[in-house]
Amino acid sequence: MTDAQAPLEKARQQGQPILDRLAFEKFAAAHRRELKLHCYRMMGSLHEADDLVQDTLLRAWRARLEFDGRGSVRGWLYMIATNSCLNAFKVRTRTRRILQQPERPPSYGAATGGPAPEVTWLEPYPDAELPGLVDVEPGPEARYEAREAVQLAFVAAIQDLPPRQRAALLLSDVLGWSAVETARLLGGSTASISSALQRARATLSARYPQGRPTGRSQPSREEGLLLERYMQAWQATNLDGLIELLREDATYRMPPWREWYQGRGAIRGFFETIWTNFGGFRTVAIGANAQPAVGVYARTHQNPAWRAHSLHVIEPAEGGIASLTVYVGPLGPKLFPAFGLPPA
């Protein structure tokens, strides 16, 4: 138990209300990042997660006299955060964010559709928000490793689940809480939560043969070299070098554009239509969703200023790149501040 937890847990054990503002603020600060990550997984949006975690802590402070001392204060905060997310879903028509539109076939050649702002796109998550989280051991009921449950592919997969199933899976299979604990947080019977979990797991199994995205261990030296070569290829506009890094069946997505590409040949054909439009690129290594990531700046032939161009999230596999998700304009540059990157 941390120093920030001790005063609140003591009050809980003694059945006393949480009255000490300083103790609450310390406790809230200690758990803000994990609550934000939970809200991000639920919503698929970095910006919504910011708003919802702030709303969670405000609601918790206002409702501190109502805390009855059953369970942990941390669990109480997760209950408020989860309910805040579920309530947010009730006022919108779409309950999931996507990386690519379902049933849309892969494209070939130039992208001509333009940005699709009406689509709710899944956003990446900065690694700067993750220290102290990705290496934390989840509870005994967890089915996913901490790093695995942060990957962009995993967050995209659970977006297919209805909100309540999504919440049940996150609380049980990711955080490792028992069905009894999860039922207490979400409300309802243990049987209903177990049923929701079974349906959620079946949905993921239909999408992934193993019921989960491919797991990733800690970043390796090989992965670091792959990232370095990727950045060099962009800065040298070396298309051969870039394509060489891709697996034969690699995918390339570029939210908020609808088009996506499958395979080395199709990806090469797309890049041949765009790289000549720019006067050069500069790259900055970052991290997103516990994966290698890059911020790319570009200049045009008419303007020598380096401007935010795109944010790249790389999924490595077997020494190559299995998937590239490249957030281009206008969405990509808007994400730069969240990753500590200036606009120019």
Element (H, E) at 242: helix 239-245
Domain shared by 229 and 321, yes or no: yes
Provide the domain limits for residue 187. Answer: 123-217
Do residues 321 and 244 share a domain?
Answer: yes
Q: Is 116 helix (H, G, I), strand (E, B) or coil?
A: coil
Q: Which CATH number is 213's domain given?
A: 1.10.10.10
Are 227 and 333 found together in one domain? yes
Q: What is the CATH number of the domain that holds 2?
A: 1.10.1740.10
> Of the candidates 179, 194, 217, which is a domain's last residue?
217
Which among 98, 88, 90 is positioned nearest to 52, based on CA atoms? 88
Residue 256 Cα distances to 10, 117, 238, 297, 309, angstroms: 49, 7, 25, 18, 13
**Domain assignment of residue 101, yes or no:** no
188, 260: one domain? no
> Residue 56: which residues within 8 A CB-CB, separation 6 or more?
35, 39, 77, 80, 81, 84
HEC string for 304-336: CCCEEEEEEEEEEECCEEEEEEEECCCHHHHHH
Nearest of 255, 231, 227 to residue 315 by alpha carbon: 227
Sign of CA dihedral 57, 59, 62, 67: negative
Q: Do both 45 and 154 map to the same domain?
A: no
Tokens 């200023």, located at residue? 305
**What does the alpha-carbon distance between residue 243 and residue 265 come to, in Å, rounded to a whole number?**
9
Decide if 29 is inside a domain.
yes
In a domain, 289, yes or no: yes
Residue finishing a domain among 217, 242, 267? 217
CATH number of 310's domain: 3.10.450.50
Paired tokens of 121: 């796109």
3-state secondary structure of 233: helix
- Give yes or no: residues 213 and 225 share one domain: no
Does 68 share its domain with 157? no
Residue 138 Cα distances to 6, 18, 171, angstroms: 21, 26, 10
Which run of H or E residues covers position 236?
Answer: none
Q: What is the pLDDT of residue 4?
A: 47
Concatenate the DSSP letters of all residues of 160-222 into one string: TS-HHHHHHHIIIIIT---HHHHHHHH-S-HHHHHHHHHHHHHHHHHHSTTSSPPP--S--HH
Same structural domain, 232 and 210: no
d(CA 170, CA 38): 8
Annotate 32-80 with DSSP letters as a single string.
Answer: HHHHHHHHHHHHS-HHHHHHHHHHHHHHHHHTGGG--S-S-HHHHHHHH
- The answer to whether position 111 is within a domain reads no
Residue closest to 149 by CA, chosen among 131, 129, 169: 169
- Shared-domain flag, residues 163 and 189: yes
Task: Check: CB of residue 300 under 8 Å from CB of residue 279.
Answer: yes
Confirm whether 330 is domain-assigned. yes
Omega of the bond prior to 256 within 30 degrees of 0, cis?
yes
Residue 182, domain member (yes or no): yes
Q: Identify whether residues 212 and 261 lie together within a single domain.
A: no
Tell whether 107 is covered by a domain: no
β-pair type (307-317, 246-253): unpaired
Predicted TM-score (pTM) above 0.85: yes
DSSP H or E segment with residue 298: strand 291-299
Residues 195 and 238 in one domain: no
133 and 230 belong to one structural domain: no
What CA–CA distance (Å, rounded) separates 64 from 187? 19
pLDDT tens, residue order, the chain (344 aa): 455 445 555 555 554 445 567 777 777 788 899 999 999 999 999 999 999 999 999 998 887 766 655 667 788 899 999 999 999 999 887 778 999 988 899 999 999 989 998 899 999 999 999 867 655 566 666 788 878 889 999 999 999 999 999 999 999 999 999 989 899 888 889 999 999 999 999 998 887 765 556 655 566 788 899 999 999 999 999 999 999 999 999 999 999 999 999 999 999 999 999 999 999 999 999 999 999 999 999 999 999 999 999 999 999 998 899 999 999 999 999 999 999 999 99
Question: Where among 170, 195, 217 does a domain terminate?
Answer: 217
Tally of domains within the chain: 3
Residue 103, domain member (yes or no): no
